Amino acid sequence: MKVPLSWLREYVELPAVTAHEVADKLTAAGLKLEAITSFGHDVKNVVVGEVLSVEELAGFKKPIRHCMVEVGEATPREIVCGATNFVAGDRVPVVLPGGVLPGGFEVGARKTYGRMSEGMICSERELGLSDEHNGIMVLPKDTPIGADVVDLLGLRDDVLELEITPDIGYALSIRGVAREAATAFDVPFRDPAQVALPEESATSYPASIADPTACDRFVLREVRGFDPAAESPLWLRVRLSRAGMRPVSLAVDITNYLMLELGQPLHAFDRAKLRGEIVVRRSAPGETLETLDHVVRKLDADDILITDDSGAISMAGTMGGLETEIADASTDIVIEAAHFSATGTARMSRRHNLVSEASKRFERGVDRELPLVASWRAAQLLAELGGATVVPGVTHAEVDVEPVRIAIPTSHPGDVAGVPYARETVVRRLEQVGCTITEGASPAPRRGGVDPTGVVSGGDAELMARLAVTGDDMITVVPPSWRPDLTDPNDLAEEVIRLEGYENLPSALPKASAGAGLTEAQRLRRRVGRALASAGYVEVLNYPFVGERDFDNLQLPEGDARRRAARLANPLSEDEPLMRTTLLPGLLKTLVRNVGRGFTDLALFETGLVYRPREGAPAQAPVLGVERRPSEAELASVAAALPDQPQRVAAVLAGEFERSGWWGAGRAANWADAVQAARLVAGEARVELGVSADQHEPWHPGRCAALYVGDTLVGHAGELHPRVIEAYGLPPRTCAMEVELSRIEAAMAGPAQAPSVSAYPVATQDVALIVPDFTPVADVEAALRDGAGPLLESVRLFDVYEGAQVGAGNKSLAYTLRFRAGDRTLTAEETTAARDAAVAVAADRVGAQLRGV
């Protein structure tokens, strides 16, 4: 919302303060400042001049005119100008030599087109008044020559741009912001809606409301004899431009002006194009409407329409129809002002992807008492500025709506804020908002009309129970018509707190209860993140949304459990309407995005939830009310509909894992690095990770490892399938790892036990075993561990050889075995026997032969 300070001052007796001081006060009251734009403060030496003569200069490609202009000095000024929309005798704004225009543009005297030019005749855009640049700005004939144009036209102004949140729709008007400013500065406020309405018994154009849930007040007034050629006066065009709206025509400009000033959207119909009674109703099946933007829209059964005998003529509170648009020759106009359903307007606007200035206001809630006032003021302005005659009478269709009454203890705002507020303070602040206060707790009335949402009354159980304990005196508050957002005691408490000042609330840190801290699962996740970061991985955080295309790109077969995904009811993107069942799509897209920006050597990881729907789960979780705590059965029904949400960690690698440089060649990331990343995760959980060959999408069938903790499969790692790399546009030989952290957490053995450290020396034995080349290394190592017995401290693979010396189809695996006893120094005979036992078990299980024997 753009608020010109000059417009604001018309309704608030502001002291001599700057725009920044006003903005600070409004920000403290909850209206967030976006920007302050200043106009005309740098403009100087611009005066009113009268054109005495105009000489057309020939020989140029465009019209050039040499003008003699009287500016109130001893002699006229000669000025060269290219515009042709003025004649001798017209009065125009003139920048004299040394003058400055908006933006710091300085004007001097110079010779051009063979003539002397002592200044410049200005257009509206050059003066910063509007975007109009079709010609020179011609002033009224009675404008005094030599007068300062800056003061005459009000060029100097400051515009506050405020961000209006959905709950304070009243601030989408000068009226609403002025009321807040008056409260903030504690100065009088003049309400522009306080106008005397004529006493009228006659009706205007016939109208009725067919659906009370769509509209509870509908007002029509009629003017005739409007001059379609009448132009909007300068002050009106300037205010609209300053407030961010483009002037269009007098009739449209008046409705926009009143919408900005009062917050009440208006619409004008061409009287000659209406057919029969106007009815506000919901859409009928198959109806369409061509709106003012020349789009034919297929209407929904929930759409709120303004109709006549010909059908739909307007989408209520959103956009008018093209058929009844005011044309260039329209002389008879019907003005419409109404109070439409906020939720109905919001849903219709989103359904048709059609957001207008009117819909922004209606969906936030407008003042139900404004339609009569706004329509009357529109009729007056059309008569005053457009020569129209106001037709006596008004059509006023309405549905009775009882006001909201809220019973609240006067101590409630203080209880919420943690700061005691005196009873007088609470009453005074609520009255400043516009509320009506009565003593005691009145019973809640029946609420009807648009958007019945219920009323908090003296029967509120929680507040009444507290009242019985504390003895607080109750008051009944009736919010003003322009505050439909005030519906319960906490809303009123917020009003008191914000007007008293958020800055006055004490800052107190909550006390940590003794013994509380991170759970073991939380500590594990943090350790895993630190371990991967220490190994060179960078953590990323992706949105948990995927699409069917991601499953295709991962080459997942039909029937794969990962293709069963929970679908979002309102996705951010239609391309990604599903909740992820694997972390890999987000990581791979992040990898591609970074590679596209020149980062080719990458190691990324992410920790997060995946969402796996359960077999036989309900298609939709039940929606529970908020009036009480759900029962255990209701909570169980919600939990049954939710998908499983295990915690996972995944990593992707591309390019060089060990960087090359002056120190030598680097090393490209490979499948073994992905497996090692999984080992780091398992190591932080103090569990042993088993590794075996596997085939599992999206990994390369020959370079994929299944990862186990005991007999439980926890994930996979390896090099991605070439088709996956091609589908995502990944670098060649990209590798990835994904493990389910929840399963690893379940296998944790509890607190770590410190190992006993032997003071006796270690004994080492090296063995080289020949095995078939398809034998998994993990199987050989497991056999050696089982055979070596309790004296074995560690086993490490230090060499793999394939060649003629071991025979075709074989490979040689060389291990270092470390032996140590906790109570003695081992003898050579003991270590040799343990080594031979280990080799024997390996020979029995995997057919290993000792190399060189």
Q: What is the pLDDT of residues 618-662, one digit of tens each?
A: 877 888 888 789 999 999 999 888 999 999 999 999 999 998 889
The pLDDT confidence band at residue 750, using thresholds 50, 70 and 90, is confident
Q: Which residues sit opposite 118 in a β-bridge? A: 109
H or E segment and range at residue 292: none
In DSSP notation, 520-553 reads: HHHHHHHHHHHHHHHTT-EE----SEE-HHHHHH
**Contact between residue 78 and residue 117 where contact means Cβ atoms under 8 Å apart:** yes
pLDDT of residue 831: 93
The pLDDT confidence band at residue 467, using thresholds 50, 70 and 90, is very low
CA-nearest of 772, 766, 762 to 784 is 766
The pLDDT confidence band at residue 371, using thresholds 50, 70 and 90, is very high
pLDDT over threshold 90, residue 517? no
pLDDT over threshold 80, residue 464? no
- Tokens 């390019």, residue located: 655
In DSSP notation, 188-255 reads: -B--TT--PPP---S--S-EEES-TTTEEEEEEEEEES--TTPPPPHHHHHHHHHTT-----HHHHHH
**Contact between residue 441 and residue 474 where contact means Cβ atoms under 8 Å apart:** yes
Q: Which amino acid is at 473?
A: D
User: How much of the chain exceeds pLDDT 70, in percent?
Assistant: 96
74 burial via Cβ count (<10 Å: 0-12, 13-18, 19+):
exposed
Give 603's contacts (C-beta < 8 A, 6+ positions apart): 535, 536, 537, 538, 651, 652, 653, 657, 669
pLDDT digits (tens, 9 = 90+) for 13-61: 999 999 999 999 999 988 989 999 888 888 899 999 999 999 988 888 8
pLDDT of residue 737: 97
H or E segment and range at residue 483: none
Lowest-confidence range among 156-160, 569-573, 685-689? 569-573
Q: Which residues sit opposite 408 in a β-bridge? A: 475
pLDDT over threshold 90, residue 280? yes
CA distance 127 to 204: 43
Q: Which two tokens stand for residue 322?
A: 């093209």
pLDDT digits (tens, 9 = 90+) for 338-370: 999 999 999 999 999 999 999 999 999 999 999
The pLDDT confidence band at residue 468, using thresholds 50, 70 and 90, is very low
The pLDDT confidence band at residue 466, using thresholds 50, 70 and 90, is low
CA distance 767 to 850: 7
718 burial via Cβ count (<10 Å: 0-12, 13-18, 19+):
buried
pLDDT over threshold 90, residue 853? no
**Contact between residue 331 and residue 303 where contact means Cβ atoms under 8 Å apart:** no
CA-nearest of 644, 668, 646 to 657 is 668
Lowest-confidence range among 251-265, 509-523, 683-697? 509-523
**Contact between residue 642 and residue 619 where contact means Cβ atoms under 8 Å apart:** no
pLDDT over threshold 60, residue 452? no
Continuous H helices in 86-168: 149-153
Q: What is the mean pLDDT of residues 189-204?
A: 90
pLDDT of residue 104: 84
CA-nearest of 341, 344, 269, 335 to 308 is 269
CA distance 366 to 338: 10
Q: Which residues sit opposite 291 in a β-bridge? A: 321
pTM over 0.75: no
112 burial via Cβ count (<10 Å: 0-12, 13-18, 19+):
exposed
Q: Where are the beta strands (DSSP E) in 82-132?
A: 91-101, 105-106, 109-112, 115-118, 120-121
Q: What is the mean pLDDT of residues 167-183?
A: 93
Checking 351-358 for CB contacts under 8 A at 24+ apart, the result is 351/300, 351/302, 351/303, 352/297, 352/303, 352/315, 352/318, 354/291, 354/297, 354/315, 354/318, 354/319, 356/318, 356/319, 357/245, 357/256, 357/259, 357/265, 358/259, 358/265, 358/267, 358/317, 358/318, 358/319
Q: CA of 374: how far to CAs of 222, 244, 338, 742, in Å?
A: 13, 21, 10, 62
Q: What is the mean pLDDT of residues 144-148?
A: 92
Average per-residue pLDDT for the chain: 90
The pLDDT confidence band at residue 455, using thresholds 50, 70 and 90, is very low
